[in-house]
Every structure is written in C-alpha cells, then in structure tokens.
Structure 1
C-alpha cells in the first residue's frame, strides 16, 4: 500500500482540500482521488494527486 496526497485549490489559491489516503497502486489512487473530488463538489477546481515518493498521479487545472 502506498500513501497518496490529494490537494484542491480555489481560483485564488486557497486550499479547499488537503487529504491523504492509502491505495494499492496509482490506478486505485486515481480512482479514489477522483471520487473524493466528486463527492466534495471540487471536480472543476485545480487539484493534484501525488504519491509519497513525489510522483504526480493526477493534475487538473
């Protein structure tokens, strides 16, 4: 299991979401991250999902 960090921002740069979670791989992490953004109605905001080693998994502007 790897650790992942999901962050979403407003257009002014304010943090709207800053969560971490575990997933078995990048594909599962991407699915979980997208689900969290949808649940919190943040899908249209700038967001990023990175793994604990620093690799970018998902980025949306």
Structure 2
C-alpha cells in the first residue's frame, strides 16, 4: 500500500483539509480522494491529491 496526500483550500489559502491515506494504486487513490471530498462537501473547493512520487491525481482550482 502506498501513502497519498489530499488537501483542500479556501480561495484565501486557508487549509480546509489535510489528510493522508493509503491505497493500492493511483486509480484507487483517485476514487478514494473524490469520495472523501464529496463526503466533506469540498469537491467544489480548490483541492489536490498527490501520489508518493509527486504525481498529481486530482486537481481543481
């Protein structure tokens, strides 16, 4: 399992979410990140999900 990082921000830069989670691969991590954002009502906010190698899996500004 690999460790992924999910963050979400307000337009002023205030961090709303800063969470790490484990997933089997990038595709599973992307789905999990989207689900977390949806549950926390942050899908429309600026967010990103990155892999351990720094690959950007999700991004919205």
* Correspondence for 1:41: 41
Residues 1-61 of structure 1 correspond to what in structure 2 (within 5 A)? 1-61=1-61
RMSD: 0.6
The aligned length equals 61
SS in structure 2 at match of 1:31: helix
Relative to the length of structure 1, the TM-score reads 0.95
Structure 2: give runs of 5+ residues left out of the alignment: none
Structure 1: give runs of 5+ residues left out of the alignment: none
Consecutive aligned runs of 4 or more in structure 1 exceeding 3 Å deviation: none
Relative to the length of structure 2, the TM-score reads 0.95
- How far apart are the structure 2 equivalents of 1:2 and 1:19? 14
